[in-house]
């Protein structure tokens, strides 16, 4: 049973609606428009909203959308046929009203489609019932029943099917053996005859001879390796007792206590920074203002200038004919017209590090967006598809919610509470380094920062944050801020509960008047269930204002797996009814990928969350905000 069926224009005017139940269809349809149609995610014609499954079809020629909704626990096989039949009949019946392309004519038009729809629904339901249930196959109908009993009897030596093959191979071996005595001596092993061989009246094939030679070789050399292994094991305990640590003449020796350079510090005590080059640590550029990401390089500009020179030398006649070659005139696009272009686009996206599944869905979305659309006179299929793909990519990189940290921090200040940000991600992506960059950006905007060292697992994690804190304190000493400590590290050592440390850090920041708390967590793989449970516990207990996933720009298909499993683990292991998921993405190591920027598309497409920060270097100023058009330009560059 259908819950609703509605037809509306892409401008938002509802032309006709069928309501099967009393609940309104406005909420599910609006969710479909926000999450799929406006976000250019039309690769799949199905969408799930709460307890409903929505299937839709786009008519790009007349700018119409057909949507049907039903309960997702039902399996309705006739829905696809129904939506195609309704689309065909509605378009043909009201073609003149729709072709006027004016909102006033659509509003004044009367679309009496109720009886036609009920007839099509009845026919679709009856056609699904007419199909006879599939019966199980009987033994008499199978191929095994047609075989004689003699063909199923197996001899003790080998299978009957292999006899004919082996006899053919032995004939070939006989001919090769008759060429000379060397061939026969190589073909037949004379040292150790097996149970099946020339002595028993059955000759061996080439494959069996090679296999037997290989087994004899492994037996001979395996014994020698076992003997050498035994001798090595027998000599090991003799040398074990005599081994002593070496003492170098000029190196000296030091006890283990001297090697521990991590001096314990209490929370709240400012650390004295050793003399370092502050300019090298800070970097160049304005630290308080995030610059847009620039994906172009000097090499690209040079190649662009060189490519324009030979084009000027070409004849104007040849250039004119080349331009007119691909024009298609005023015609509606079909799947066949776009197939070759979309295949090239898909391969190009995969080569630029976009995940393979995401590239396929993007091309499907572009195809469904352009199918049936009438092209202009002076436009080619390639240019039309490329322009539609660029628009889709820009729309994907500008998701529904924009994260403005500075505005949210000022809002938290008005409520006299600290703004809490939690960083999570897999191992080695640069969580601690980019946390320090974000700390410097906040310090430049005159916000005090408390860094919570909740990575109690990795050796050196606390010392790394302590070094960053010392350097940030050197860049922003209390003397410049009226004696106020602007950055501080909160740590409890190793082996402690990360969720408890984060809770204590937030309470400490509230008492001491810190503006922002940045929580650093341990790196963990997305398949590690115990660590993912601990992360979900930390987020559920402390309820941070922002959860940032830190991922590197070098990954391709792995980005999809990481984000999907992180979100799924946070949802599964959370104790709350509405689990807290990832709110934004920090993309690191962006300066190492040249124009292979596909990871940004993959991560944003999967989560529908924005890329808040982009790490582009090793200094504190190497932090950028994402420029969607620059990323798409680099992605589409050949």
What pLDDT does 561 receive?
Answer: 84
- pLDDT surpasses 60 at 459: yes
- pLDDT surpasses 90 at 451: yes
| Three-state DSSP state, 7 | strand
288 or 525, greater pLDDT = 525
What pLDDT does 160 receive?
Answer: 46
What pLDDT does 286 receive?
Answer: 64
What pLDDT does 225 receive?
Answer: 53
- Of the listed ranges 291-295, 333-337, 412-416, 626-630, the one predicted with least confidence: 291-295
What pLDDT does 191 receive?
Answer: 45
Architecture of domain 405-628: 3-Layer(aba) Sandwich (3.40)
What pLDDT does 5 receive?
Answer: 92
What pLDDT does 398 receive?
Answer: 82
Q: CA nearest 583: which of 568, 569, 599, 567?
A: 567
Task: Quickly state the pLDDT bin for 242 (edges 50, 70, 90).
Answer: low
Query: Mean per-residue pLDDT for 549-556?
Result: 86
What pLDDT does 272 receive?
Answer: 52
- pLDDT surpasses 80 at 442: yes
Q: Give phi and psi for 207, each to the nearest 5.
A: -65, -45
Q: How far apart are CA 43 and CA 614, in angstroms?
A: 28
What pLDDT does 437 receive?
Answer: 94
What pLDDT does 185 receive?
Answer: 41
Question: 4-128 domain in CATH 3.40.1180.10?
Answer: no
Query: Mean per-residue pLDDT for 507-526?
Result: 93
Query: Mean per-residue pLDDT for 533-550?
Result: 92
- Which class for 321: exposed (0-12), middle (13-18), buried (19 or more C-beta within 10 A)? exposed
Query: Mean per-residue pLDDT for 162-169?
Result: 48
319 or 25, greater pLDDT = 25
Q: Which residues, in sequence order, are CB contacts of 54 under 8 Å at separation 6+? A: 28, 29, 32, 46, 47, 48, 67, 68, 69
What pLDDT does 194 receive?
Answer: 47
What pLDDT does 446 receive?
Answer: 92
Which residues make beta-bridge pairs with 47? 54
- Of the listed ranges 96-100, 428-432, 607-611, the one predicted with least confidence: 96-100
pLDDT in tens, 37-50: 887 776 678 888 88
- pLDDT surpasses 70 at 464: yes
Task: Quickly state the pLDDT bin for 435 (edges 50, 70, 90).
Answer: very high
- pLDDT surpasses 90 at 467: yes
Domain with CATH 3.40.50.300 in the chain: 405-628
What pLDDT does 149 receive?
Answer: 65
Calculated CA dihedral for residues 566, 568, 569, 575, nearest 10 degrees = 130
Query: Mean per-residue pLDDT for 579-594?
Result: 89
Task: Quickly state the pLDDT bin for 108 (edges 50, 70, 90).
Answer: low
What pLDDT does 487 receive?
Answer: 94
- pLDDT surpasses 80 at 8: yes
pLDDT, mean over the chain: 77
What pLDDT does 580 receive?
Answer: 85
pLDDT in tens, 472-500: 999 999 888 888 889 999 999 898 899 99
Q: How far apart are CA 297 and CA 183, in angstroms?
A: 66
Q: What percent of the chain has pLDDT over 70?
A: 71
Domain with CATH 3.30.450.60 in the chain: 4-128
Query: Mean per-residue pLDDT for 345-370?
Result: 89
What pLDDT does 20 receive?
Answer: 83
Range among 65-69, 515-519, 556-560 with highest mean pLDDT value? 515-519
What pLDDT does 564 receive?
Answer: 87
Outline where 111-154 has alpha helix (H).
114-130, 143-146, 149-152
Q: CA separation (Å) from 547 to 368, 531, 536?
A: 34, 16, 11
Query: Mean per-residue pLDDT for 622-629?
Result: 88
Range among 4-18, 139-153, 454-468 with highest mean pLDDT value? 454-468
Tokens, residue 604: 């944003």
Q: How far apart are CA 604 and CA 588, in angstroms?
A: 14
What pLDDT does 571 receive?
Answer: 87
- pLDDT surpasses 50 at 234: no
Q: Does the pTM of the predicted model rise above 0.75?
A: no
350 sits in which H/E element = helix 335-351
Query: Mean per-residue pLDDT for 120-141?
Result: 76
Task: Quickly state the pLDDT bin for 312 (edges 50, 70, 90).
Answer: very low
- Which class for 367: exposed (0-12), middle (13-18), buried (19 or more C-beta within 10 A)? buried
- pLDDT surpasses 90 at 546: yes
- pLDDT surpasses 50 at 243: yes
Distance of CA 453 to the CA centre of its chain: 28
Query: Mean per-residue pLDDT for 382-407?
Result: 86
> Are the CB atoms for 127 and 80 separated by under 8 Å?
no
- pLDDT surpasses 60 at 302: no
């Amino acid at each position: 049973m259908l819950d609703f069926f509605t037809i509306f224009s892409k401008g938002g005017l509802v032309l006709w609606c069928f309501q099967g139940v009393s609940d309104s269809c406005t909420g599910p349809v609006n969710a479909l428009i926000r999450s799929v149609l406006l976000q250019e995610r039309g690769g799949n014609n199905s969408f799930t909203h709460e307890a409903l499954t929505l299937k839709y079809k786009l008519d790009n020629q007349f700018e119409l959308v057909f949507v049907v909704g039903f309960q997702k626990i039902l399996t309705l096989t006739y829905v696809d046929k129904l939506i195609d039949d309704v689309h065909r009949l509605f378009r043909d019946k009201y073609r003149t009203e729709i072709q006027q392309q004016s909102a006033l004519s659509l509003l004044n038009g009367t679309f009496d489609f109720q009886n036609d729809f009920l007839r099509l629904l009845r026919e679709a339901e009856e056609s699904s019932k007419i199909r006879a249930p599939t019966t199980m196959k009987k033994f008499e109908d199978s191929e095994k029943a047609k075989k004689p009993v003699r063909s199923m009897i197996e001899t003790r030596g080998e299978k009957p099917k292999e006899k004919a093959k082996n006899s053919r191979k032995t004939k070939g071996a006989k001919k090769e053996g008759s060429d000379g005595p060397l061939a026969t001596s190589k073909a037949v092993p004379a040292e150790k005859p097996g149970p099946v061989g020339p002595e028993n009246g059955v000759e061996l094939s080439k494959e069996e001879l090679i296999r037997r030679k290989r087994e004899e070789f492994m037996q001979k050399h395996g014994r020698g390796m076992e003997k050498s292994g035994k001798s090595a094991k027998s000599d090991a305990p003799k040398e074990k007792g005599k081994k002593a640590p070496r003492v170098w003449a000029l190196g000296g020796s030091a006890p283990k206590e001297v090697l521990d350079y991590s001096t314990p510090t209490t929370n709240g005590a400012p650390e004295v920074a050793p003399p370092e080059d502050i300019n090298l640590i800070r970097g160049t550029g304005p630290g308080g203002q995030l610059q847009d990401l620039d994906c172009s390089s000097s090499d690209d500009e040079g190649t662009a200038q060189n490519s324009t020179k030979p084009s000027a030398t070409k004849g104007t006649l040849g250039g004119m004919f080349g331009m007119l070659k691909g024009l298609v005139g005023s015609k509606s696009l079909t799947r066949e017209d776009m197939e070759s272009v979309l295949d090239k686009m898909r391969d190009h996206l995969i080569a630029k590090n976009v995940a393979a599944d995401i590239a396929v869905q993007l091309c499907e979305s572009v195809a469904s967006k352009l199918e049936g659309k009438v092209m202009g006179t002076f436009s080619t299929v390639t240019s039309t598809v490329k322009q539609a793909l660029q628009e889709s990519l820009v729309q994907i990189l500008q998701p529904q919610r924009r994260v403005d940290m500075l505005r949210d921090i000022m809002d938290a200040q008005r409520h006299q509470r600290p703004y809490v940000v939690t960083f999570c991600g897999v191992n080695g992506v640069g969580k601690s380094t980019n946390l320090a960059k974000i700390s410097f950006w906040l310090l430049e905007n005159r916000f005090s920062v408390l860094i919570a060292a909740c990575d109690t697992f990795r050796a050196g994690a606390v010392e790394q944050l302590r070094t960053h804190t010392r350097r940030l304190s050197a860049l922003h000493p209390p003397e410049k801020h009226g004696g106020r400590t602007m950055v501080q590290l909160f740590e409890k050592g190793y082996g402690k509960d990360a969720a408890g440390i984060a809770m204590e850090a937030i309470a400490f920041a509230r008492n001491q008047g810190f503006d922002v708390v940045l929580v650093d967590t341990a790196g963990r793989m997305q398949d590690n269930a115990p660590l993912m449970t601990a992360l979900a516990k930390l987020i559920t207990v402390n309820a941070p204002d922002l959860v940032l996933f830190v991922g590197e720009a070098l990954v391709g298909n792995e980005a999809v797996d990481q984000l999907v499993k992180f979100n799924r683990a946070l949802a599964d292991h959370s104790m709350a009814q509405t689990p807290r998921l990832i709110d934004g993405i920090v993309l690191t190591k962006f300066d190492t990928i040249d124009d292979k920027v596909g990871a940004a598309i993959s991560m944003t497409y999967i989560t529908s969350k924005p890329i808040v920060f982009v790490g582009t270097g090793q200094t504190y100023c190497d932090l950028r905000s994402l420029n969607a058009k620059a990323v798409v330009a680099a992605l589409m560059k050949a």
